[in-house]
Amino acid sequence: MRFSLSKLSFFNSLFTILVISIALSIMAGYEYNAFYEKKKESLKQEYIEKNKRLLQEEVAMEVKRVNNIISDFYFSVFSILDNRVHMIESLIYSQIKTHRYLKNKQLNKHIFDTINSLNYNNADNYDFIFNKHGEILFHSLEKRLEGLNILESSEFAPELKNSVKKVIKDGEASAGYVFVRNGVKRKIYTDMKKVNDFFIASCIYIDNLEEELQKNIFKSLEYSRLGVDRKGYFWVTNSENIMLFHPFQKELISKNLTELKTKRGVAIFKEVDKLLQDKDEAFLTYDWQVPDTDEYAEKIAYVKKIPKWDWVLGSGFYLKDLDEFLQNEEKKQKEFLDTLILKILLIVSVLFAIVLSISWYISQRFEEEEGRQKRHLKLLEQYKQILDLSAIVTKTDLSGRIQEVNSLFEQVSGYKKEEVIGKAHRIVRHPSTPKETFEDMWRVIQSGNVWRGVLKNLSKNKKRSYINKTIIFPIKDEFDTTIEYISTSIDITEIIEQRDTLQNLFLTDALTGLASRIKLLNEINKSQTSGFLALIDIARFTEVNDMFGN
């Protein structure tokens, strides 16, 4: 049973849609597990990277905030000292101007008494005055130091001695240093300036102030939370691995944690020391107790130095939260995929209906087109039959080699089809045909035009020649490039022969067989040279004409 092209196209469309629908459904179901496993690993990495990035950003922001607080603190300390120095400077110049009549010793005593009368209720602030040799002339807090030479006495820290040398040389100096007295460490900031013949210094113990400021910072960190789920927290240690602050495990505060190990035997803070040995920040992974539980879980932490106070600020996130995140994501993914499969089936159903309608429409158009093509093919077959009966047809390639001939060619030329296929068309050419005719023919057809002309050909037995009125068509492809030639010819041999016979009769006298008067006139017209005409009168030629005809 044969099917038409339109029906085959329609059935092919239906089959394709069904196969695609089934394949999509199977593939969606089959790929789900593999897809999610890959997606789960990707989600895990994405979750970790996202939290690490967020952790790094928030710790960096907190470190920046603390650094700003520290900078503001020291700026305010130096501002206080600077203001204090300027106040004492103004006081000295005022006393010199007011009591210029006093001798130096009396004037100095008056100046020192005036400075001493200033309010020193805060034991963290004090002032002293020394001369260009480094000898202390006045000290507001410890009178016993008066008369001692700062540059020579062991009572004073090296940093203070260097600042004294600098102010004597340059007129201004400042310093921060740790001063130990009676086994107690005190952190001091000093601002110095030359005033007249004096060198004044204003000092402040900042360790108590720093401690108070640090407490305020720790208080602000107590309830600070960070991370995607805002469960992360900050802790602070120093370079000696002493825990300075922890919001949940208060028992660790002030303890040295260098030897503290996790459940897996990892010394966390030794690891931190290694990581921060040549850089300011680092990530590390370890097990740590989950706040408000007895559970230990894997944790990724990020630590960053705060060099101004020798701090290490850290925070982290627990990977146990990842499991909950993945469960939620799995649920979302399953819902998404279920919805996607439903949408695919819906879309396929709609496409099935649309393609079914289009396929039916196209099949109908194909069927109509097939009908038209059959009618055209039938007409072409009849045209070919008519052409084969009335004309000699040959087809050649671009070099003139015969590819096809019709039966009339065989009849007229005497060649069988098998004898001429692949041979050059000149196999039937008559030697008397001028070379110029073929040159013109090739010139015309190779330029893509139709050639019309008369060719004389020779039959296979070389005994019969025939004359064709020939038309050669260049056959072109879709790019307008000639791919072959088709020649149609009509045998006009009989017509040519009859024409020659009539012309001969017309130009020859039937009685004498000589050229007639018309022939004579034609020859005279053709002649390019002059000549002579002789007239001969034959006696009684009229009677001959009357009997035999003119």
pLDDT of residue 316: 93
Q: Please check whether residue 341 lies inside any domain of the structure.
A: no
pLDDT above 80 (res 111): yes
pLDDT of residue 165: 95
pLDDT of residue 252: 93
Of the candidate ranges 80-84, 300-304, 377-381, 400-404, the one whose mean pLDDT is the lowest? 377-381
Domain identity same for 280 and 194? no
pLDDT of residue 533: 61
Domain identity same for 200 and 88? yes
Q: What value does the mean pLDDT take over residues 39-64?
A: 89
Instruction: Report the C-alpha gap between 380 and 386 in whole angstroms.
Output: 10
Q: What value does the mean pLDDT take over residues 290-295?
A: 85
pLDDT of residue 217: 95
pLDDT above 90 (res 456): no
Q: Which of 169, 204, 239 is the last residue of a domain?
A: 204
Helix axis angle, 320-390 to 5-98, nearest 10°: 140
Q: What value does the mean pLDDT take over residues 170-199?
A: 87
Domain identity same for 265 and 195? no
DSSP 248-260: S-GGGTT-B-TT-
Predicted confidence band at 512 (pLDDT cuts at 50, 70, 90)? low
167-176, 494-503, 515-524, 535-544: which is most confident: 167-176
Q: Please check whether residue 218 lies inside any domain of the structure.
A: yes
Instruction: Report the C-alpha gap between 243 and 311 in whole angstroms.
Output: 10
Q: Please check whether residue 222 lies inside any domain of the structure.
A: yes
Domain identity same for 104 and 194? yes
Predicted confidence band at 353 (pLDDT cuts at 50, 70, 90)? confident
Domain identity same for 410 and 430? yes
Instruction: Report the C-alpha gap between 154 and 32 in whole angstroms.
Output: 81
pLDDT of residue 449: 92
Domain identity same for 409 and 438? yes
Domain identity same for 96 and 140? yes
Predicted confidence band at 279 (pLDDT cuts at 50, 70, 90)? very high
pLDDT of residue 121: 56
Domain identity same for 288 and 198? no
pLDDT of residue 516: 64
213-222, 518-527, 536-545: which is most confident: 213-222
- DSSP 3-state of 518: helix
pLDDT above 70 (res 455): yes
SS (H, E, C) 322-377: HHHHHHHHHHHHHHHHHHHHHHHHHHHHHHHHHHHHHHHHHHHHHHHHHHHHHHHH
Domain identity same for 269 and 314? yes
How much is the pTM?
0.55
Q: Which of 204, 219, 238 is the last residue of a domain?
A: 204
Residue 15 is inside which H or E element, if any? helix 5-98
Q: What value does the mean pLDDT take over residues 195-207?
A: 91
Sequence-distant (≥ 6) Cβ neighbours of residue 69 within 8 angstroms: 213, 217
pLDDT above 90 (res 355): no
Phi/psi of residue 539, nearest 5 degrees: -65, 135
pLDDT of residue 538: 62
pLDDT above 70 (res 368): yes
Q: Please check whether residue 370 lies inside any domain of the structure.
A: no
Instruction: Supply 136's token pair.
Output: 């202390």
For the segment 522-534, what is each residue's pLDDT rounded down to a tens digit? 666 666 666 666 6
- Give the chain's radius of gyration (CA, Å): 61
pLDDT above 60 (res 120): no
Structural domain containing residue 447: 387-498
Total structural domains in the chain? 4
Sequence-distant (≥ 6) Cβ neighbours of residue 333 within 8 angstroms: 36, 39
The Cβ of residue 241 has, within 10 Å, a number of other Cβ atoms equal to 19
Predicted confidence band at 70 (pLDDT cuts at 50, 70, 90)? very high
Instruction: Supply 284's token pair.
Output: 């590390």
Are the CB atoms for 488 and 392 separated by under 8 Å?
A: yes
Q: Please check whether residue 523 lies inside any domain of the structure.
A: yes
Q: Please check whether residue 410 lies inside any domain of the structure.
A: yes
Instruction: Supply 212's token pair.
Output: 């108070």
CA atoms within 13 A on the CB side of 294: 0
For the segment 460-502, what is each residue's pLDDT rounded down to a tens digit? 887 666 667 789 989 998 889 999 999 888 877 777 666 656 5
The residues with which 302 forms a beta bridge, in sequence order, are 283, 315
Instruction: Report the C-alpha gap between 349 and 25 in whole angstroms.
Output: 12
Q: Please check whether residue 301 lies inside any domain of the structure.
A: yes
pLDDT of residue 8: 61
For the segment 333-350, what is each residue's pLDDT rounded down to a tens digit? 777 767 877 777 788 778
What b/e readout covers 227-238, taking b as 16+ CB neighbours within 10 angstroms?
beeeebbbbbbe
Domain identity same for 526 and 435? no
Q: Which of 323, 346, 361 is the last residue of a domain?
A: 323
Q: Please check whether residue 287 lies inside any domain of the structure.
A: yes
CA nearest 442: which of 460, 462, 422, 424?
Answer: 424
For the segment 401-425, what is each residue's pLDDT rounded down to a tens digit? 999 998 888 888 889 989 889 988 8
Comparing 9 with 249, the larger pLDDT belongs to 249
Instruction: Supply 307's token pair.
Output: 């060099």
Domain identity same for 392 and 493? yes
Domain identity same for 174 and 259? no
We report the CATH number of the domain holding residue 156 as 3.30.450.20
pLDDT of residue 24: 67
| C-alpha distances in Å from residue 421, one per residue of 12, 20, 401, 410, 414 | 41, 50, 8, 12, 14
Q: What value does the mean pLDDT take over residues 14-36?
A: 69
pLDDT above 70 (res 149): yes
pLDDT of residue 529: 64
